[in-house]
Amino acid sequence: MKATYYKHILDFKRPSGTSRGILMQKETWFIHIVSGEKQGIGECGILRGLSIDDVPEYEEQLRWTCENIELGKDQLLEKLMEFPSIQFGVEQAFLSLNSEFPYELFPSAFTKGTAAISINGLIWMGDEQFMKHQIKEKLTAGFSCIKMKIGAIDFDTEIRLLKSIRKEYSVNDIELRVDANGAFTPENALEKLKRLAELELHSIEQPIKQGQFAEMAQLCERTPLPIAFDEELIGVFHLEEKKKIIETIQPQYIILKPSLVGGYKGSNEWISIAENNQVGWWITSALESNIGLNAIAQWAYTLNNHLPQGLGTGSLYTNNFNSPLRIEKGALQYDNNKLWEVPYIQ
């Protein structure tokens, strides 16, 4: 068994705004395993500036992983504890290697093309006109759940945008989620949550920056709007630590990005803890290519979570890999009439 790794730069179709700035490109890495006639591939989807494993020795760790691939999945996951994106790439690559088809990691009605996954339509940050244009596009495309990133432009403008949606579409027509990416402060967050709650939103992601446990716990206790957090989960490796965070903060939801929290294994731990504490959850991709998106989507389908998932990132890039994944009427589908085209695997 031999393994190699590859770097791939994904180019955005148009600059994509986040609370951390404008994204033009997204770096990602792949682990490719060959064993006899079989091949497997997995994506290590690092997010610079957010992933806990965004460290100078990242590529060195990838090289070590490939050189020691004979250790097998379980031992590698243990040794890669502080590199969650590589953990996820390893999990995918071994599943791919041991599957009948390298891209069918979790055979199901989804991979057969007879079932779809409801997803939210993502509205990127930008000026008012750009955001209005995106909202109109998503509604025309048949999305029943829209997630809007807020915190980059004036809050009153964002409230006005949300009001304009609510004026035309009731809570029964469109589910609205917002993601603040930590843009509020502990001092102003509650007041802003009250204003947002008037618009009958589903939830808000990460209203204040992660790591402020006491402030977040107080906010979750007093909020008029359900709070979901994802960044709060980053860099938490051990089970007891995970339990402490959920039991201390008691959020209404957690959002799991496998590339950021240790793949399937890390995510499943969080899900188990959340359910034991009556905390809701859903799965979100983290700007992976279609390789990683496919691995997340197939797994997410098997979890039978009927909330809209955050899996609509595959169409953002000009140089993504051709795949059977497609979005239709606000749902992610698998079209078996389309073939995979990935240069790293034959």
Return the active site residues. 149, 257
Which of 177, 163, 173 minimizes the C-alpha distance to 120? 177
- Return the SS3 of 13: strand
- DSSP string of 255-267? EE-HHHHTHHHHH
* Alpha carbons 91 and 262: distance in angstroms, whole number: 9
CB 73 within 8 A of CB 260: no
Tally the residues of the chain: 346
Q: Which helix (H) or strand (E) holds 338?
A: none
Task: Encode 285-300: b = buried (16+ Cβ within 10 Å), e = exposed.
Answer: bbbbbbbbbbbbbbbb
Distance CA 214, CA 222 (A): 12
Residue (of 246, 254, 250) closest to 273 by Cα position: 246
| Token pair for 20 | 């951390």
Direct distance between the N- and C-terminal alpha carbons of the chain, in angstroms, rounded to an integer: 16
Q: How many CA atoms lie within 13 A of 329 on its CB side?
A: 2
Residue 313's Cβ-count burial label (10 Å; 0-12, 13-18, 19+) is: buried
Per the CB < 8 A criterion, the answer to whether 57 and 27 are in contact is no
